[in-house]
């Protein structure tokens, strides 16, 4: 990581887990020469964006959410899709692009959004039709083993070991690179996948996630370019030998 300005930077929106009362749910924004690519879409997204904008000086709101990398469908990563979809359709008249894996594509509407976003009613609130996913979003599929492009940023993904289909990824842009573990148990092969990045954001938590103690077993050179996210409330940030990402902070890579 570097303190000077860089064409590739990361704005942290949240660092907490599903049950946190101290932090927002884990998510962040990749900035490509200032152009935002959002990673996951938790609630309360408008409040998270306002708080991060106030602290960092980087002005972002729902009007700026055009590109979203959606790693999986757990609520602490996806509950904001409903507000984003409604806002984008009825206030912006625009469809954000969601980049995700086929397993998420198959489940996102029928199993996640249809019941609340599907009904189309008239002025008397009588049901007159049915909305579809494509009325709110455009989807782009990411596949392991391939290189994809988002706003000129190259992205490669890898499935993680998690309760439901989920992926981590690494990106490169103008000579700088960044890797994100996403939700996963400790997986040396996944860490190897991310190891060549200039900065790595790795989750740590309990029960189906990556234990902090196992990350301490990694080589010092690898830990040096790593930051932590998805922490539980009782995690001791001050004593952590691996820095914890800070909500509302902009990191240049």
Fold entry, domain 8-252: Metallo-beta-lactamase; Chain A (3.60.15)
HEC string for 137-160: CEEEECCCCCCEEECCEEEEEEEC
Residue-wise pLDDT for 92-115, tens only, equals: 999 999 999 999 999 999 999 999
Confidence grade of residue 125 (pLDDT, cut at 50, 70, 90):
confident
Check residue 1 and give its pLDDT: 42
Q: How many CA atoms lie within 13 A of 160 on its CB side?
A: 24
H-assigned helices in the chain: 45-56, 75-78, 81-87, 102-108, 114-117, 188-194, 212-215, 220-224
For 58-98, write each residue's pLDDT tens digit.
999 999 999 999 999 999 999 999 999 999 999 999 999 99
Mean pLDDT value across residues 28-53 = 97
Angle (nearest 5°) at CA 76 between 73 and 80 = 80
Q: What is the pLDDT of residue 126?
A: 86
For residues 17-26, give the mean pLDDT: 97
SS3 3: coil
What value does the mean pLDDT take over residues 30-58? Answer: 97
Q: What is the pLDDT of residue 87?
A: 97
Taking 50 as the threshold, does the pLDDT of residue 3 lie above it? no
pTM for this one? 0.95
For the segment 180-186, the average pLDDT, to the nearest whole number, is: 98
Listed residue (193, 247, 227, 251) closest to 8, CA to CA: 251
């Amino acid at each position: 990581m570097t303190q000077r300005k860089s064409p590739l930077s990361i704005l942290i929106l949240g660092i907490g887990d599903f049950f946190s009362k101290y932090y927002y749910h884990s998510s962040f924004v990749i900035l490509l020469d200032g152009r935002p690519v959002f990673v996951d879409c938790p609630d309360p997204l408008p409040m998270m964006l306002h708080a991060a904008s106030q602290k960092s000086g980087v002005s972002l709101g729902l009007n700026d959410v055009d590109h979203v990398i959606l790693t999986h469908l757990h609520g602490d990563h996806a509950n904001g899709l409903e507000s984003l979809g409604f806002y984008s359709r009825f206030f912006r008249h625009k469809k954000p692009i969601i980049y995700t894996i086929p397993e998420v594509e198959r489940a996102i509407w029928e199993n996640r959004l249809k019941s609340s976003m599907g009904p189309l009613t008239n002025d008397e609130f009588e049901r007159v039709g049915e909305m579809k996913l494509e009325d709110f979003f455009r989807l782009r599929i990411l596949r392991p083993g391939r290189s994809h492009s988002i706003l000129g940023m190259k992205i490669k993904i890898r499935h993680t070991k998690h309760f439901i289909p989920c992926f981590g990824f690494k990106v490169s842009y103008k000579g700088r690179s960044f890797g994100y573990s996403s939700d996963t148990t400790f997986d040396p092969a996944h860490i190897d996948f991310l190891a060549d990045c200039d900065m790595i954001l790795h989750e740590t938590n309990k029960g189906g996630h990556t234990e902090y103690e196992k990350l301490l077993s990694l080589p010092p050179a690898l830990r040096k370019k790593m930051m932590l996210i998805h922490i539980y409330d009782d995690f001791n940030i001050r004593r952590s030998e691996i820095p914890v990402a800070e909500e509302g902070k902009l990191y240049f890579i």
